[in-house]
Structure 1
């Protein structure tokens, strides 16, 4: 599908060809050259209708066509019976056509120079790219890009792709839908947590539809100077309409589309009003679709969300296990490895697409640093926590502090393995063992998680009669889970929790964790010995110890 710029170029070329053809038709001499004897015979036959004399030739017009003979070969006596016309070599039509050609070439050169120098005129006259911003920011332009990201480059979005294929088909075959009376959606809102690939999805739509792609972040519309944000919005939509069909992608639209009212912000509201006006001003034939992304749909203004502006909402969630496998296969395609992708997918619960990309890259860098020829699962174990929580160096511990740490971590990893919580490996420096997740849990699963978070404190209290301050993060997570169970999930003794309900649940889970740890004392001791020697242990190793000892 040609873009409007290609259409304009084709129009200029076509106009130039037509002018050249017209000039050729008028300037070409179509007469047939004849000899003096042939001219004498034609004159004698009285078949000549018109005689035209020019500087070089004498033209004879007959019913059979135009003939010419050199002026030096004829004499005036030959044409005594004919009215002779003098030909004008400077035909005014030729001059007019030459002027048109010169003006056309001049305007084309002017446009090329304007684009190189960044000079733009008003949209009513000859214009280049539409200016963006103010004189204080310098002269810049809104430019479209042709996306090179395809759906084949994105793994794990099969459901999203189905939702968007209709829009792609509409942009490719608009007549099919218009003939049926259907109109193209004006806006598509991609909703999902950070890092799930919303921007890549928008680029893939533009690539599949083969249309120009205009990218802007919501924050870029927010200006200090009143009215400049609204101008940016107007310029962006004007550029997209000039190059329709096209896609406008506004990332983090909540930066400009927050609910109005309350705190006063005239500039942001003016920008939002301009955005609403531009989306309302679309015609059915404009061929422009607005794709926006946000992870905070609850803060968007209701006027922006109503039908007719964003007609379609597509929710992009964190990838499932199967989707993580698909994403990992994309990233591992060009990297030498000896991996079972399913194992890596199992150990990356809660990872988004961006985190998976970072994980594969960190594992690849680690394998290069260690001069290994292939990536292995061990490389992923070593970098997973670095990607999830950042690299933290274990503080220097004295012998007593290290003993507390080993007991604390041994209890956590044993309980986590006993209840089959999602993790693959524990290191002595781990702050968190299993990633937090917003997946729906039943009450039993939340209680398992609570026991794991409280197990370290319980084990230290059993063995040493006290625990260290390193329990602060696990205790905070446990309190948050209990609070949600009582206040949000209705999992207390009643739907409306009593004032001491949370304390009761927390103490009960702590006591149950203590009882379980006493029963698993042999396992805990064996895990402690491994952690003391290696400072790490895998879930598989703990499973074997549980099966052997219990």
Structure 2
């Protein structure tokens, strides 16, 4: 911004200087002064072609030069043979200055209108025309600089895709066996697991052009524009084959056709299906698409001959999280055991792990530390998982309720060995929910942890706070699924009343457990009152002394 302002000032100054120079050149008197004798001789020998009179001088113009002499030295008789023109210099200057003034004012007004957005291309050009221009631009490939070495924890996925990479590098080897390259690869997995990076790594490893489009970019408000965009994309890829087309969030354009009218989306989907059918075996183009909602995709997209191969990219395991964290910590000065961080990040995807490392680095900088430590990760983990929330201002009584509530939760979580590393008094959640397959006793352990705070407050104070709502809702949801969906009641088709019986049983078992651990609860409460945090290791150490 500073540079552009300086350039503008320099431009205005240059323009002003040019105007001054032009005025000087036009108004400067270039005539040579001569004597009366020379003037008389010139007039008598008829070498003067024209005579111009001004207020102070008489100008004698010959074929080669212009001469001047003071008006007081020339008499009217000397000029009787010439037609004398009167020079109105003041009028010429006035007209010229007036023109410069008008042009200057006009320029300033135009600039002011542009600055205040009164006169702009957005107001002159309609949005429809502008939109059509944007989408008429040619589609160009992207040079991918992402390698598989930049992505940690995807060894299984890499093995699935290496065959495609090898095919694009050595097509003759596969054609000699009569094998054809898969026309489409569908990457399926939750958000943030690195599906886009995987596609870019494939393009980089194969050394081919990479064409990236999001599914939403095909969804246009004008009928035919989305289909046209699809055709342009595939034409560009075929003209530069071998190449890779990557369509991110394909569910935006590839949803099931349910018979309801949506002419533009259906036309775009039909064009996509047609283009994938039109691939010749020798076209050298492969389509990679990504989605986290495979169940909503149209069956025509999923049939053989379109997306021949499906690769499921799941949330990283502990070993894969450690590998990802190692990648992100390479350029960060740290004193961290990646396995410890991997243990505390159950349920994190690759993007969340990147954000966690970044937040820990920023915290270390704010605290003027020389290295990132495990303590920094403890402090920022909840911010990455659940977002930063403004802490409530608690009265002393409310704080004691919260201390008891959190103490009971952390004791149950440690007793049942649920995944967490540290509890903060301000934590709303202790451990992340997971969709992984869980055994019945694991689900029951989680429900007990969620009920522990309510149980402890009811034991000590005969009441609990409204802040228990979040844990109670999650406990009810788990019990609902156990009975209605997972068949974990007395029979696979359990009755509705079993939900209440299961919740009551888990509540009583949690009460019995906590009543037997009053010494541990008092210890944890004292630590939370003093430090407002406690680690799993500290609680486990105390439990081992009691049990």
Please confirm whether the aligned pair reaches a TM-score higher than 0.5, indicating the same fold. yes
1:256 equivalent among 249, 253, 257: 253
How many Å apart are 1:393 and its aligned residue? 2.4
1:373 equivalent among 370, 375, 379: 370
In 2, Cα distance between the equivalents of 1:308 and 1:487?
Answer: 39
- 3-state SS in 2 of match to 1:188: strand
Does 1:400 find its partner at 2:397?
yes
In the superposition, the TM-score normalised over structure 2's length comes to: 0.76
1:219 counterpart residue number? 216
- 3-state SS in 2 of match to 1:181: coil
Does 1:146 find its partner at 2:171?
no
In 2, Cα distance between the equivalents of 1:508 and 1:430?
Answer: 27
- 1:133–1:228: 8 Å Cα contact kept in structure 2? no
How many Å apart are 1:499 and its aligned residue? 1.5
- 3-state SS in 1 of match to 2:335: coil
Q: After superposition, give the CA deviation of every residue in 1:222-261 in whole Å (9 maximum; x if it has no partner).
A: 0100111100000000000011110000000000000002
In 2, Cα distance between the equivalents of 1:261 and 1:454?
Answer: 43
In 2, Cα distance between the equivalents of 1:315 and 1:139?
Answer: 35
- 1:422–1:434: 8 Å Cα contact kept in structure 2? yes
1:296 counterpart residue number? 293
Spell out the pairing of 1:204-215 with structure 2 (5 A cutoff). 204-215=201-212
Spell out the pairing of 1:109-188 with structure 2 (5 A cutoff). 135=132, 137=134, 139-188=136-185
1:486 equivalent among 483, 486, 507: 483
In 1, Cα distance between the equivalents of 2:140 and 2:504?
Answer: 61
2:437 counterpart residue number? 440
Q: After superposition, give the CA deviation of every residue in 1:413-443 in whole Å (9 maximum; x if it has no partner).
A: 0010011110000001111101111111111
2:92 counterpart residue number? none
In 2, Cα distance between the equivalents of 1:475 and 1:299?
Answer: 32
Spell out the pairing of 1:240-255 with structure 2 (5 A cutoff). 240-255=237-252
1:506 equivalent among 503, 508, 513: 503
- 3-state SS in 2 of match to 1:405: helix
In 2, Cα distance between the equivalents of 1:261 and 1:360?
Answer: 44
1:30 counterpart residue number? none
Q: After superposition, give the CA deviation of every residue in 1:60-94 in whole Å (9 maximum; x if it has no partner).
A: xxxxxxxxxxxxxxxxxxxxxxxxxxxxxxxxxxx
1:330 counterpart residue number? 327
1:363 counterpart residue number? 360
How many Å apart are 1:139 and its aligned residue? 4.7
Does 1:280 find its partner at 2:267?
no
2:538 equivalent among 530, 537, 541: 541
How many Å apart are 1:503 and its aligned residue? 1.0
Q: In the superposition, relative to structure 1, how do residues 138 and 145 fare at CA in structure 2: closer, same or farther (>3 Å)?
A: closer
In 2, Cα distance between the equivalents of 1:284 and 1:512?
Answer: 64
2:525 counterpart residue number? 528
How many Å apart are 1:394 and its aligned residue? 1.6
Taking only aligned residues, the RMSD between alpha carbons, in angstroms, comes to 1.2
In 2, Cα distance between the equivalents of 1:133 and 1:512?
Answer: 67
- 1:393–1:429: 8 Å Cα contact kept in structure 2? no
- 2:168–2:284: 8 Å Cα contact kept in structure 1? yes
Q: Which moved more, 1:202-211 or 1:387-396?
A: 387-396
Does 1:428 find its partner at 2:425?
yes
1:12 counterpart residue number? none
In 2, Cα distance between the equivalents of 1:222 and 1:430?
Answer: 41
How many Å apart are 1:262 and its aligned residue? 3.9
Q: After superposition, give the CA deviation of every residue in 1:432-474 in whole Å (9 maximum; x if it has no partner).
A: 1011111111111111111000000000000000000000000
How many Å apart are 1:134 and its aligned residue? 5.6
In 2, Cα distance between the equivalents of 1:324 and 1:490?
Answer: 32
In 1, Cα distance between the equivalents of 2:261 and 2:323?
Answer: 46
- 2:215–2:248: 8 Å Cα contact kept in structure 1? yes
In 1, Cα distance between the equivalents of 2:492 and 2:469?
Answer: 29
- 3-state SS in 2 of match to 1:459: helix
Q: Which structure is larger by alpha-carbon Rg, 1 or 2?
A: 2
In 1, Cα distance between the equivalents of 2:135 and 2:461?
Answer: 68
- 1:234–1:278: 8 Å Cα contact kept in structure 2? yes
How many Å apart are 1:133 and its aligned residue? 9.6
**Total equivalences in the alignment:** 419
How many Å apart are 1:330 and its aligned residue? 0.3
Runs of 4+ in 1 over 4 A off after TM superposition: none
Does 1:229 find its partner at 2:226?
yes
- 3-state SS in 1 of match to 2:185: strand
1:495 counterpart residue number? 492
Does 1:457 find its partner at 2:454?
yes
Q: In the superposition, relative to structure 1, how do residues 430 and 546 fare at CA in structure 2: closer, same or farther (>3 Å)?
A: same
Q: After superposition, give the CA deviation of every residue in 1:497-526 in whole Å (9 maximum; x if it has no partner).
A: 201111111111011101100001110011
- 1:134–1:228: 8 Å Cα contact kept in structure 2? no
- 2:135–2:229: 8 Å Cα contact kept in structure 1? no
In 1, Cα distance between the equivalents of 2:472 and 2:261?
Answer: 40
In 1, Cα distance between the equivalents of 2:503 and 2:131?
Answer: 59
How many Å apart are 1:308 and its aligned residue? 0.1
Does 1:268 find its partner at 2:281?
no
In 1, Cα distance between the equivalents of 2:249 and 2:378?
Answer: 33
1:350 equivalent among 344, 347, 350: 347
For structure 1, list consecutive stretches of 5 or more residues without a partner in the other structure: 1-131
How many Å apart are 1:181 and its aligned residue? 0.6
Q: In the superposition, relative to structure 1, how do residues 138 and 249 fare at CA in structure 2: closer, same or farther (>3 Å)?
A: closer
- 3-state SS in 1 of match to 2:310: strand
2:93 counterpart residue number? none
In 2, Cα distance between the equivalents of 1:183 and 1:139?
Answer: 33
For structure 2, list consecutive stretches of 5 or more residues without a partner in the other structure: 1-128
